[in-house]
Structure 1
Amino acid sequence: MKTIKYYFLLIVLLFHIVNVHAQRKNIKTQNQNIKQFIQIWGLVKYKSQKSIVGKFDADKVFLSLIDSVKNADQKQFNQLISTMIGAVDPAFTAKAHSYDHDALNSYRHLLKNVDYNWIKDKKYTVALRKQLIALSNQVNLSGNHQYIPTVWYESDLPNEAAYTNYTFNEERMNLLTLAKAWNAIEYLFPYKYMMDKDWRKVLTSMIPMFREIRNRLSYEKSVLMLEVAINDTHGGEFMENGNLKMTSDIVKVRYYPPFDYKAEAKGIIVKKFLNDSLAKSSSLKAGDEIVAINGIKMEGWLKERGALLPASNDAVKYRQLSTSNNDRGDTFAFSNLKGGTLNVKVRRDGAYLNLKLVMLDRRNRESIKIIEDYILQKRAKEKKIKGIENIGDITLFRAGNFFDKDLPKDNDLAKLSAELKSKRALVFDMRKYPQAPGLFGYYLPLVLGKAPFAFARYYAADLKDPGTFIHREGIENYMYMSKDGTKPMGELYKGKIVILTDENTQSMGEWFSMMLRQFNANATIIGSQTAGADGDVKRLTLPGGYRFSFTGNGIFYPDGRETQRVGIKPDIYFKVSAKDLSGVEDVHLQRALNLIREGK
């Protein structure tokens, strides 16, 4: 009897193992079908003539086919895909219009992202492969596109439904989200070739994750992981207030340190306590550098907590982990804590101390009030900073504090020109995002005698061949061109120009830093690695009303060197020390003044 029972249990176990294996094999096949469908659907969306002119409702097609495609065998899959593609008009082939990739000029066209090798997959029938190849070789002669902005610097991708009432619990819609975001990067992100991970492998890894989404929390986290995967600081827009709703649940930021701080590769530097009472009660002091928390060295601690922060480079990761220039109260470097008291190892005056750090609890009203009061004080102080200031024979422009209301009036231009040209040097602080782009793109060149000039290579999505990018050669793409024929005023300013940059110098700040560096032969950049995200941001609307952001135009130095991820290279590397961070003096600015006055 025991033997029969034993064999029965063995048979049940074997049946279960076989069944689990079959289920896994089925899921693997489904995921493979989903991946292939997403790639081909994107090719149709961005390259087919019917989609270009608005006769292909990409979302509707995806939602109607995904379940059938997912469960299809190979023969059925090929039939479904072939029907979706339809006839490919031979009148629009690239070769017929002298637009074959092999023949295009590599200076005029950015072709590094183009790779249709996946079409060669032998799982596709010969007939389907021919369809796909023909489709990939189509060109758009209309000058418009249903899903790409006609004006290259416009941000919002057109005709993308928001599905604002979506509840995040439908596999079809979650996969549509993945398909839309993945293909937007595939065809409209100029720096896809610079990402750490192969984009097709990212798709493979993301499909199971998006299939498992059941609520808003898992939805937001999955999309956030896509943003992280593109290695682009502009992707950080996804985390802004009003977009990401579940930040505290995703990164678990319950506790707040009693001080402002800056995170760096090897430590967290204490800058300023939120109030005097907290400073007196803490065993830490301003200027201390925390090198380990709960026995974990800072490098590993910060790497774990920066894993879900979109960034082009490590400098931005550390910026996002800091409270520097952060008035939202984010303290990601102290996320995912099990309790409010930490054992910290601190470096102070060359010695190491083991101390206790007692955090503020955001569930405590008194703690919240302390944090809010400090942030409000910082905002009030920031508003008092002047956008333009004379320091003896030097004029300082602070890009982040100079607003459109501060722009000169036409009848003041001659006076401003004479005043600035009399200065020994001009300093441009680009450590905050420029608030008055007209100052840099028009007024300063005008009054300093600089004619508009191309200081970069600017590439925008090529509507004729989505997936490639075309060089915008006109000077008006780089600087404002006066329509009334206004000429620069007098001779070019030849005094010293110093530009201050750091990890907060981003996008437009990087763009104008490039321009100022080439303004005259006497310009110098002093600073550290910038955000590495130059070029107009593009925003894709996703189900649930979310915005998926990325850099949409390619910006390169005139000699072809990348700015993306690398940032704007300084002539003099400068980084504030731990000791100086806790002080009140702007030592970065002081470094610039020393260069001007002492030549070193």
Structure 2
Amino acid sequence: MKKIYFLLFIISIQTGFCQVKISETDKLSATCKVWGFLKYYHPKVANGEKNWDQQLFDVLPKIEQAKTKEEFSLILENWIDSLGEIQKIEPIIQPKGIEYFDKNFDLSWIDKNKMFSTKLSKKLKFIENNRFQGEQYYVSLLNAENIFVKNEDFSTYDYNNKYARILSLFTYWNIIEYYFPYKYIMDQKWDNTLEQMLPLFIEAKNLDDFYITMQKLTVRLNDSHAVFYKYARKKHYLPIVCKIIDEKMIVTEILDDNFAKTGEVKIGDIITKINDKTIKQIVFENRELISASNEVSYLHNIIEPVLSGYYDNIKLEFLSEGKNIKKTINWVDYNSNRYVLKNETKREIKKEKFKILENNIGYVNMGEITVKNIPEMIEKLKLTKAIVFDMRNYPNATWEEISKFLNAKEKVFAIYTKPDLTYPGRFKWSEPHPTGSENKDNYKGKVVILLNEESVSQSEWTAMCFQTAGNTTIIGSQTAGADGNVSDVDFIKSFYSRLSGIGVYYPDKRETQRIGIIPDIEVKPTILGIQQGKDEVLDRAIKFIETGK
């Protein structure tokens, strides 16, 4: 009798286990991974033979009906079988001479996912071992070998439809899963982001909710390149540039002459509230909406969004010459993101490309100088005792010609990780990138580079290049920490994002992403210095040149 009771007990446990319900998030998370894996690995999907979006729409209702792990796995097994037979191929041999970077690569979920039956895991593993080896239908490589997304057109989808929102999430998530070089240094695992974002995509009540949710998803990349734009009605902008220092927003530049003449706001004014919110509140509330690799980049990137809007005016509270002032100020019609005026009040600020400062110190504005200006710059500055290269801006692809002037011989300054489309998710190390050439007449003076949070991507990469000169000193503060050629992601109607497409490292494989370029001498502007019209970073550079300290 005891044996009978024991057997009934065991059967009841097993039956109960089989009938354990699985959550919507668990099902969709696992489906997302399988759908993306098949998209880039299955020979009859990765070649574009199947309408892969429609395949997802067809399988989602079945997934929703699945109550147990067994039912769920069977649906996916049948789905895979319906795609057609996969031919077993000879083992894919890793090419000789290639060193792989595998910190991003992880297909262990195939065997470890609690939602999968043993049979399903074996099917997926078979696909991995016999994966597609032709030209990928949904991604290709640009000249720099970062990906570009192709054959994705979501322009006809209605995002009030839950399945369209899920498709958008699945598509974006898998692009990052397989082709984002810095996935491994996000604040949290990309798997966790999927689980957290799924309910938000499902619950989005309207188009605005959907776009905000997409924006929040891009922010989880922790990548200053991963900007988000929603093409919508025209925005208005306040024509000022600001910097956040110690939870205070200080005005550093007025961009419109007409606005400057009104005296509404002046350089040095300290904004304490915007539309009744303190700067501290604004910084806290926007963390899920502003992309950034690090804190200094976040504090820089938040300025433009909070000084723009769709209304007629903006309410400011600020300190000006010791007085507390409250004002409601009308916007100016500005172009998004670059502070370019559309009307005739456009302010043309002619900045010098290069010049000689006092005591025979050269100065180059890297945001203004172009390749055609380099010969003249070299001729004018070659006998100076030092040259300050100001990269608190975005250079104009002048690194190669300037580097030849600075270096006596060829040197390597960077190495990259690039996606391997034959094994999606894997990256491979490039050959080290050289700069400079044999030049006995190279520059012999000191080289000083100025950097700050506005130094991003090409600025950071160019700074790495100039460091090879050997007599280079970097002065300033932490940079934006986003390097590598950019890949655009714009498959969704009215939506545009981008991401760092290749990994950039020093030749010894030290990281630059999120860290940025580390200054040898750290110096940051102060509120008082800005109010007094000083460039404290440049002043510190001149002091170093003169004293060596």
Q: Report TM bin, short chain.
A: 0.7 to 0.9
Q: Quick check: 1:157–1:538 contact (8 Å CA) kept in 2?
A: yes
Q: Could you tell me which residue of structure 1 aligns to residue 7 of structure 2?
A: none
Q: Which residue in the other structure is 1:17 paired with?
A: none
Q: 2:482 aligns with which of 511, 533, 544?
A: 533
More helix by share: 1
Amino acid at match of 1:509: S
Alpha-carbon contact 1:500-1:526 (below 8 Å) kept: yes
What pairs up with 1:129-528 in 2 under 5 angstroms? 129-137=121-129, 141-142=133-134, 144-151=135-142, 153=144, 157-236=148-227, 238-239=228-229, 243-245=230-232, 260-271=241-252, 275=259, 278-279=262-263, 286-290=267-271, 298-322=279-303, 330-332=304-306, 355-362=324-331, 380-382=347-349, 384-391=350-357, 393-404=360-371, 406-407=372-373, 420-435=381-396, 437=397, 439-441=398-400, 443-473=401-431, 475=433, 479=435, 488-518=438-468, 520-528=469-477
User: SS where residue 204 of structure 2 aligns?
Assistant: coil
Residues 261-282 of structure 1: CA distance to partner in whole angstroms, max 9, x if unpaired?
Answer: 3223421123356746654x77
Deviates more, 1:529-538 or 1:372-381: 372-381
Distance 1:399 1:340 in 2: 34
Q: State the alpha-carbon separation in 2 of the partners of residues 214 and 109 from structure 1.
A: 43
Distance 1:428 1:378 in 2: 31
Structure 1 match to 2:47: 53
Q: Which residue of 2 aligns with 1:4?
A: none
Residue in structure 1 matching 2:93, options 69, 92, 97: 97
In structure 2, runs of 5+ residues without a counterpart are 1-19
Q: Distance in 1 between matches of 2:495 and 2:275?
A: 37
The letter of the residue matching 1:566 is I
Aligned to 1:3: none
Q: Per the alignment, do residues 466 and 563 of structure 1 end up closer, same or farther by CA in structure 2, a change over 3 Å counting?
A: same
Residue of structure 1 in register with 2:80 after alignment: 85
For the 8 Å contact 2:27–2:115, the answer to whether it is kept is: no
Alpha-carbon shift at residue 395 of structure 1 (Å): 2.9
Aligned to 1:597: 546
TM-score, normalised by the number of residues in structure 2: 0.82
Q: Is there any run of 5+ residues in structure 1 with no aligned partner, and where? A: 1-24, 249-253, 323-329, 481-486
Structure 1 residue 578, shift from structure 2 partner? 0.7
Contact 1:45 1:56 in 2 (8 A): no
Distance 1:289 1:79, change over 3 A: same
Partner amino acid for 2:384? K
C-alpha displacement at 1:222, in angstroms? Answer: 1.4
CA distance in 2: counterparts of 1:445 and 1:206, whole angstroms: 45
1:370-425 superposed Cα distances (whole Å, 9 cap, x missing partner): x999897996343x112233336333222211235x345xxxx5x87565442322
Identity between Structure 1 and Structure 2 (%): 27
- Distance in 2 of aligned mates of 1:267 and 1:397: 30
* 1:361–1:294 Cα change, 3 Å: closer
Using the TM superposition, give the Cα deviation of residue 575 of structure 1 relative to its aligned residue in structure 2, in angstroms: 0.8
Deviates more, 1:538-547 or 1:169-178: 538-547
SS of corresponding position for 2:89? helix
Shift of 1:499: 0.8
Aligned-pair CA distance for 1:40: 0.5
- The C-alpha deviation readout for 1:527-579, integer Å capped at 9, x for no partner, is 11111110011122323153331111111122322111111111111111112
| Contact 2:138/2:152 (8 A) holds in 1 | no
Give the superposed CA RMSD.
Answer: 3.7
Report how far residue 244 of structure 1 moved: 3.5
- Bigger shift: residues 581-590 or 508-517: 581-590
Does structure 2 conserve the Cα–Cα contact (< 8 Å) formed by 1:162 and 1:546? no
SS of equivalent to 1:380 = coil
- The answer as to whether partners of 2:276 and 2:316 remain within 8 angstroms in 1 is no
CA distance in 2, matches of 1:417, 1:490: 14
CA offsets, 1:28-71, max 9 Å, x none? 73332222111111111122333443334432322332232233
AA paired with 1:299?
K
Distance 2:276 2:298 in 1: 22
1:267/1:550 Cα in 2 relative to 1: closer, same or farther (>3 Å)?
same
